[in-house]
Amino acid sequence: MRELRADARRNRERILRAAHLAFLDQGADAPLDQIATGAGVGNATLYRHFPDRADLIGAVVVDNMARVAALAAEVLAAEPSAGQALAAFAQRVVEHRIVAMLPILGAHVEQTAEFRRARAHLLAALHALVEAARAEGALRSDVSAADLVMFLTVLTRPLPSVSGDLDDAVRARLLATLLNGLRPGGATPLPGAPLDADLITAGLTTANRGPAAQADTRVPGP
């Protein structure tokens, strides 16, 4: 029984990772058959874990928030300075493309208790990282945790007509430019006010009330 549970857990993790990449590149309508193939499981296994598309989308978003929160805490504890932790966080987020799920899928996500807990944990971890970097003088004062997430979201999206080594090179240059812009020395003030995480989440999930966002939520049978 323990072996079966471990196998089921691995299958679920594979499905979440495959769905993450598919949704990142193709949006919320990514084919579920393709996700199952990418996870190396059959359609029936995917449906057993996630009976409909909404279940899968919600699980991907919650899993993504947990991964980003864990990374923020990990680098802050491991790196010798908060500034280096911030840079390591940004680099690994872009490398593994793990920060863009809520902006992409927010309109299709129900704000369940599990979602709210994961979001609160994520915001706490991000605020700790940002505040430590700011206190150290490694981050400009007009950048919020929500700003950081949205900036990095842009770098995790697919690049137009770019692939392979060139894709990696472009992302590296964009990331270096972003990190330079986040430093306080000689920085030009950013326009407007720092982004607010509550307003962003509210804006991203408001469309969930509309009929268009409710369409195509049921998964066809295996």
Closest CA to 59 of 93, 98, 27, 17: 17
Entry pTM: 0.79
Yes or no: say if 105 and 23 are a contact pair by the CB < 8 Å rule.
Answer: yes
* Residue 213, pLDDT score: 42
Decide: helix, strand or coil at residue 122.
helix
Tell me: the pLDDT tens digits for 69-84?
Answer: 999 999 999 999 999 9
Token pair belonging to 31 = 């084919």
Yes or no: say if 62 and 109 are a contact pair by the CB < 8 Å rule.
Answer: no
Task: Find the helix packing angle between 164-182 and 145-156, rounded to 10°.
Answer: 160
* Residue 153, pLDDT score: 86
39: confidence class by pLDDT, cuts 50, 70, 90: very high
